[in-house]
Amino acid sequence: MKIANGMFDHYLDKLTFQWFSDHDLPPEDFTDYDSTIVSLVADATQHNDLTPFRLFMDWVLLNPHRYSLEDHGNHPFDDEDVREILRYLRKKVFPDQPPPDRQEVRDVEVVYQSVFDWWDQRQREGQFDPSQVVTNGPAQWVLDVQKNIAEGREPRLPGRDEDGGA
């Protein structure tokens, strides 16, 4: 599966770049990222990017020698700092998902493509419907995810039953 690095960077930037529009330093505790993670999940879900994002993230975590995260964002993160953020993000968003698996990501191919070109391509392939993107404030499911995270419960994404299945 070809996955755009621009898509991956778009979502990761919410934690390593956009965070600093309101903060001078990285959070002291990863849980401070939780509300930003809600925004990331909402954006990725609306663009049908959550699965490709997880696959790219798993590929990155399993292949540190093939994809550097050094200085990602506008804070001088080192590669391992960003990988720790990814591990937290993965655990938070996909709590029931098994650890990254080389078999699952063996067919991931990194494509150097902007997030906008990625979305255009996915729309042409019928994998993304721009009408699903919330433009007039958060959808109810976004508010529900935010509430679950704030209350320390697992965020339930649209299309997932109470057991976390589809």
Q: Domain coordinates of the chain in residue numbers?
A: 2-133
The residues pairing with 111 across neighbouring beta strands, listed in sequence order, are 4
Mean predicted confidence (pLDDT) in 142-147: 72
Kindly state the helix (H) or strand (E) to which residue 82 belongs, with its residue range: helix 79-93
| pLDDT digits 0-9 by tens, 26-79 | 889 999 999 899 989 999 999 999 999 999 999 999 998 888 787 666 577 888
For a pLDDT cut of 70, what percent of the chain falls above it? 84
Between 133 and 12, whose confidence is greater? Answer: 12
Q: How many residues does the chain have?
A: 166
Pairwise CA distance, residues 126 & 121, whole Å: 9
Residue 129's pLDDT band, with cuts at 50, 70 and 90, is: confident
Place of tokens 């698996």: 101
Contact 157, 41 (CB under 8 A): yes
Helix, strand or coil for residue 114?
Answer: coil
Prediction pTM value: 0.78
Cα 21 to Cα 104: distance, rounded to the nearest angstrom: 35
More confident call, 137 vs 41: 41
**Span 97-112, pLDDT tens digits:** 999 999 999 999 999 9
Task: Answer whether residue 157 shows pLDDT above 70.
Answer: no
Q: How far apart are CA 96 and CA 76, in angstroms?
A: 32
Do 56 and 110 meet the contact criterion of CB atoms below 8 Å apart? yes
Task: Measure the CA–CA gap between 129 and 46, rounded to whole angstroms.
Answer: 8
| Exposure string for 22-60, b = 16+ CB within 10 A, e = fewer | eeeebeeebeebbebbbbbbbbbbbbebbebbbbbbbbb
